[in-house]
Structure 1
């Protein structure tokens, strides 16, 4: 029988915590010494490449095999580039190019950047098949809407990341691409029969079984998970992912602070017990973590073993898989031999231009304000860093008028830059009215749609809003300074 201390150490060995600030607080280091599996880094932990390398070295001084995780997907979800945007295009751009060798190279470069920063677990790639055009949380994070395409790029992305000794974590099992709700905010439901799931959503996970980890989704799929989210479903995690598909790596949860998990379970500690019992091995707590929350989760796991909600053997198996993940990723290979221009070159190949950009010389660039998902965070996007002397203004579509923008343009053409423009009635109306009265071009940096405003002189689709995507769009319009 494990001692209370031993049981608590086992519980800690299943947790990925987090902490605020650019330096690790004492409690975060002490928990690592006590057996905590590791920490996840967020944008608020990162100021520069030098600083983050120093931070990860500090974490490893407390525990040499600590897992240091991050959401670095390239494209619209970046933590290393949260101040500027990612230097790499994301999955939608790589999918439309459909060159698996390029995908491998881009992910190998991301892996090399992470290894140099001391990060050894990337919570990527996203391998959801984005079959819902208005999906609010996946979108350009997906390689596409075709299961075979997503599957081949999922395999390539995993291979690229892990070539740098950085563990890949394919997400979000069993597939978040058909949802119209954000699991950060609620529990989405994908009501599809099992044969549809096997044909549409699951193939990319079958292709990504070489990943050292796979992340669960806080989504309800009645045919697979019953009334529970996948994170709490033993059938989904143990019977299907492990038993049927033969996955042998670590099953990692999406952040348990998300409403799709915490609200359903009655709090993060109870969500932790339910996830472990279902077959999860490593629990992402989330971004808002302190020592008290970690202690509460540990207490609940210990209580769960005591009252029968969680078998001790299941907890031990989870710790064993997490420890194996830590051993595999203990020495990521910091390499600097990838082409510095790789991201821009890849983004150029993803640009699609309709019409004649030549009709838009020396324009006024109008960026329409857009929100951001919790997964993305507030990351700069658009054409501004690449415009040289070209004027840009940022406006809210609902707070301006075609007449005001035409007056501001003073005879110049107008290029409107936006993300998911077709989803906003105000944005569509503004662009459509402008295009009937003035020379107008559009740069769409979100998930593409069939919407095209009548009279538009040129329509540019970038398939993402990273720093690299912005550069490629500016070049396509002839707006770059060099």
Structure 2
């Protein structure tokens, strides 16, 4: 126990701990984490690296709750490209952008409920979802298909539906990333994005889905590490009382838990370090601090000391910390005895997946260029475009047609040529003689318009042959120049949908 611990007393120490939610390394809770939980640590954030199987996760969350029955167990499970629970095989859900394109709020609510049931089965109590951002910038490097769409009303109604479904299953929703990360061209994991809009513009666009989230009763809202200079020219939203109090509490009337996005992200702690970012986030109005992944006991000790010192210096009021801790303790989202068993998780998701697949397949955009391969019967070459995934998605999650391919599919029977952003010396040159590739040639990637090496490869192929098709499984560019086919999602389900949709084009007689 440090000097600050003795001075602050057991009650203050427990309040501070209640506001903290670290991650950890491995598939078993380390002893330091369990000890902190017994002392009152407010929560734990689970990442893909902490999960080996649903049954193992259920055991892990059970150990966490045994140490602290009131602990929040949070996870990023958006039901699409961003998945933790299904990171080993790819998500069985379509993702938000596809749900927005289908535009059936009843279906969206059922997806939210299915995700909630899967999380409840493994003992998770909070989901960092849904993503309520409006993807108004097609060049956005971190939101894209995580958004329901580019129109405020559509995003609002699907945000509310997803929240209703999730919370009906007994899992707390955390709508994100307040006050809106959609109109950015930078990734807050790596930089500090700027949204230079006045309050009036935010009210008419960015805040619309968050109003709907509040009206739907979301139990938590996650902040964003973005700078809004017309509201606060110094601090990003997570560290800004003007944003969190003026907009979220006063403007939207929100009374629930405010949870920070991960404080290890550059947009939050790049200028201050994590302990100081934690102090500033609490002072700004955050209640629960997501520290990040792979945290250590030493990091938590540093944060505790920083918070104590800020209270001693008068920069942070102990009453505000107690108020934040009270909100966290008031969360009702703890799976009860009627939660489904982890063993039935895959079967439950598969039922909905089978129902959604035909609608997801029909939602895929087919451009006129598809006539180039119509009736070809097979695919000769698949050029796989691998780009560096943003941290929210993760590098190791199987994606798209490559996650969904089965023996006999056109993907399985084609020659696959990988082009990787990680190997600058082996990009378009790997294609060798483009004219000599077996045809037709399908180029498959995500957000193809955003990557020069992907555009160069497509242009090189198109220059010498007429049977090239570009398939974008991300959020395509507005002109669709590099998206002859657009799926608006790269989950495993959407990979299956693309395989089925292209089979219809390649061999129409086979599907009649």
Shift in Å, 1:391: 2.3
Structure 1: distance between partners of 2:206 and 2:146: 15
**Structure 2 spans left out of the alignment, 5+ residues:** 1-5, 421-426
Q: Which of 343, 361, 372 is the matching residue for 1:348?
A: 361
> CA RMSD of the aligned region, Å?
2.2
| Mapping for residues 6-405 of structure 1, pairs under 5 Å | 6-209=11-214, 210-264=217-271, 266-325=272-331, 327-329=332-334, 331=336, 334-335=339-340, 339-340=351-352, 341-354=354-367, 355-356=370-371, 358-363=374-379, 364-378=381-395, 379-384=397-402, 385-388=404-407, 389-396=412-419, 398-400=427-429, 404-405=433-434
Cα 1:346–1:165 shift into 2, 3 Å: farther
Indicate the SS of the match to 1:366. Answer: strand
Q: Report the counterpart of residue 423 of structure 2 in structure 1.
A: none
CA contact (8 A) 1:9 1:36 kept: yes
Indicate the SS of the match to 1:441. Answer: strand
Q: Report the counterpart of residue 500 of structure 2 in structure 1.
A: 475
Cα 1:462–1:360 shift into 2, 3 Å: farther
Structure 1: distance between partners of 2:474 and 2:288: 32
Matched residue pairs, number? 475
Indicate the SS of the match to 1:191. Answer: coil
Shift in Å, 1:418: 1.1
TM-score (norm 1): 0.93
Cα 1:402–1:296 shift into 2, 3 Å: closer
CA contact (8 A) 1:94 1:350 kept: no
CA contact (8 A) 1:89 1:346 kept: no
Query: Once structures 1 and 2 are overlaid, which stretch shifts more, 470-479 or 160-169?
Result: 470-479
Indicate the SS of the match to 1:224. Answer: coil
CA contact (8 A) 1:166 1:332 kept: no
1:138-173, Cα deviation, whole Å (9 max, x unpaired): 111111111111111111111111110000000000
CA contact (8 A) 2:125 2:333 kept: no
Query: Once structures 1 and 2 are overlaid, which stretch shifts more, 298-307 or 466-475?
Result: 298-307
Query: Once structures 1 and 2 are overlaid, which stretch shifts more, 472-481 or 281-290?
Result: 472-481
Cα 1:318–1:394 shift into 2, 3 Å: farther
Indicate the SS of the match to 1:145. Answer: coil
Structure 2: distance between partners of 1:6 and 1:401: 63
Indicate the SS of the match to 1:170. Answer: strand
CA contact (8 A) 2:8 2:308 kept: no
TM-score (norm 2): 0.88
1:70-114, Cα deviation, whole Å (9 max, x unpaired): 000011100011112111111111111111111111111111111
Shift in Å, 1:349: 4.0
Shift in Å, 1:344: 2.9
Q: Report the counterpart of residue 484 of structure 2 in structure 1.
A: 459
Cα 1:299–1:342 shift into 2, 3 Å: farther
Query: Once structures 1 and 2 are overlaid, which stretch shifts more, 417-426 or 400-409?
Result: 400-409
Indicate the SS of the match to 2:83. Answer: coil
Structure 2: distance between partners of 1:143 and 1:360: 34
Structure 2: distance between partners of 1:71 and 1:98: 23
Cα 1:332–1:317 shift into 2, 3 Å: farther
Structure 2: distance between partners of 1:64 and 1:375: 28
Query: Once structures 1 and 2 are overlaid, which stretch shifts more, 339-348 or 96-105?
Result: 339-348
Shift in Å, 1:9: 1.1
Shift in Å, 1:306: 1.4
Cα 1:89–1:130 shift into 2, 3 Å: same
Query: Once structures 1 and 2 are overlaid, which stretch shifts more, 19-28 or 399-408?
Result: 399-408
Q: Report the counterpart of residue 439 of structure 1 in structure 2.
A: 467
**Structure 1 spans left out of the alignment, 5+ residues:** none
Query: Once structures 1 and 2 are overlaid, which stretch shifts more, 335-344 or 21-30?
Result: 335-344
Do residues 427 (structure 1) and 439 (structure 2) align?
no
Structure 1: distance between partners of 2:257 and 2:108: 24
